[in-house]
A and B are shown apart, each in its own frame.
Chain A
Amino acid sequence: MQLKISEYLRPEAIIMEIKAKDKIAAINELVDHMVRNKLVSNGEEFVKALAKRENLESTGIGDGIAIPHARTNAVEDLILAFARSPKGIDFSSIDGKPSHIIFLIASPEGKKSEYIMALAKLSRFLRKHAVRELLRNAKDPVDVMDIVKKNEE
């Protein structure tokens, strides 16, 4: 199955400058943003599922990247969201560095293979230094969408 991460990211799921200073506040801010834009119906359940993962692992994969994620029926389809934090947020990253780029992924319980594939694609995509730099310097949500589209394989 060929999956394109750009197909699951929408401009209304992008926050160019997140205000939160810690990971749970960042997750709450992103989910609130998604609820306001009608991308998620049950924000409370969604946050609960994401927080459960954060308690059992570090979703900070290093190099200033965090990928909070969950499988939950609070979403109807695979969904991605993006946020950027100029100051960085502590996601207990494996390299101890704060996360400046946050990609959130969620999928319904029943879409495990699609969800695993999206996580794998995104993790590989974000290991590229050039991509991380482009995302850190993106001007607006359209620019973020464009960078993802042009640089994914």
Chain B
Amino acid sequence: MNFTRSLLVLTEDADQSILSVAVQFCKNSGSRLFVLFVIEPDRISRLASLTHQKVKVLHKKTEEDGWKLLYLIEDEAVENGVWTSLHLEQGNLLQMTKHYVDAYEIDVLLIKKKEGSKRIFVSCSVPVIGL
């Protein structure tokens, strides 16, 4: 199976180890790498109330961490000669992922395996690889 446009979806709990795997996957398959970091406002609100932190403070931290992850993966991609496109959005993870799959004609989705990502595995229109 040939993949030409991969989408890596990241959220605030993404760890850096999956970044290298995604870059290597794209390098080996000759795929372009679209990276989407999604800020989930509901999740931030829940976390804020659980940890007694201000939503604004948590949001700022999440956004800054998101950009850091995006630029980290881009730096590694450039070193490996992999074409990248970075995106940071706010909203529902599943809806945002589906929107990007359609808008950018993605043919494979890369995502961290976790409890909340099950809904993406079952409802996405393209193959999903859990990292």
Q: Which residues of B contact A123 (CB under 8 A)?
A: 67, 71, 88
Q: A57-B74, A112-B75, A116-B71 are in contact. Are A124 and B63 (CB under 8 A)?
A: yes
User: Does B78 sit at the interface, judged by CB under 8 A?
Assistant: yes
- Secondary structure dominating the interface of B: helix
User: Does A26 sit at the interface, judged by CB under 8 A?
Assistant: no
Q: A52-B78, A53-B78, A116-B72 are in contact. Are A58 and B85 (CB under 8 A)?
A: yes
Interface size class of A (residues with CB under 8 A): 10 to 19
Give A19 to B120 CA distance when docked, in angstroms: 47
Contact check, A124 vs B67: say whether CB atoms are below 8 A apart.
yes
User: Does B94 sit at the interface, judged by CB under 8 A?
Assistant: no
User: Does B83 sit at the interface, judged by CB under 8 A?
Assistant: yes
Quote the shortest CB–CB distance from A110 to chain B (angstroms): 13
User: Does A56 sit at the interface, judged by CB under 8 A?
Assistant: yes
Give A119 to B68 CA distance when docked, in angstroms: 7
Q: Which residues of A contact B87 (CB under 8 A)?
A: 94
Total interface residues on B, CB under 8 Å, equals 22
The answer, among A57, A61, A112, A120, for a CB contact under 8 Å with B64, is A120
Contact check, A120 vs B78: say whether CB atoms are below 8 A apart.
no
User: Does A153 sit at the interface, judged by CB under 8 A?
Assistant: yes
User: Does A35 sit at the interface, judged by CB under 8 A?
Assistant: no
Give A116 to B84 CA distance when docked, in angstroms: 16
Give A117 to B71 CA distance when docked, in angstroms: 9
Contact check, B75 vs A71: say whether CB atoms are below 8 A apart.
yes
User: Does A121 sit at the interface, judged by CB under 8 A?
Assistant: yes
Quote the shortest CB–CB distance from A70 to chain B (angstroms): 9
User: Does B81 sit at the interface, judged by CB under 8 A?
Assistant: yes
User: In the complex, what residue of chain A is closest to B67 when comparing beta carbons?
Assistant: A120
Q: A58-B85, A116-B68 are in contact. Are A153 and B60 (CB under 8 A)?
A: yes
Quote the shortest CB–CB distance from A152 to chain B (angstroms): 12
Give A53 to B66 CA distance when docked, in angstroms: 20
Give A94 to B34 CA distance when docked, in angstroms: 11
Q: Which residues of B contact A94 (CB under 8 A)?
A: 85, 87
- Could you tell me which A residues sit within 8 Å of B by CB distance? 52-53, 56-58, 61, 71, 94, 112, 116-117, 119-121, 123-124, 127, 153
A-B contact pairs, 24 of them (CB 8 A): A52-B78, A56-B78, A56-B82, A57-B74, A57-B77, A57-B78, A57-B83, A57-B84, A58-B85, A61-B86, A71-B75, A116-B68, A116-B75, A117-B68, A119-B71, A120-B66, A120-B67, A120-B68, A120-B70, A121-B64, A121-B67, A124-B67, A127-B88, A153-B60
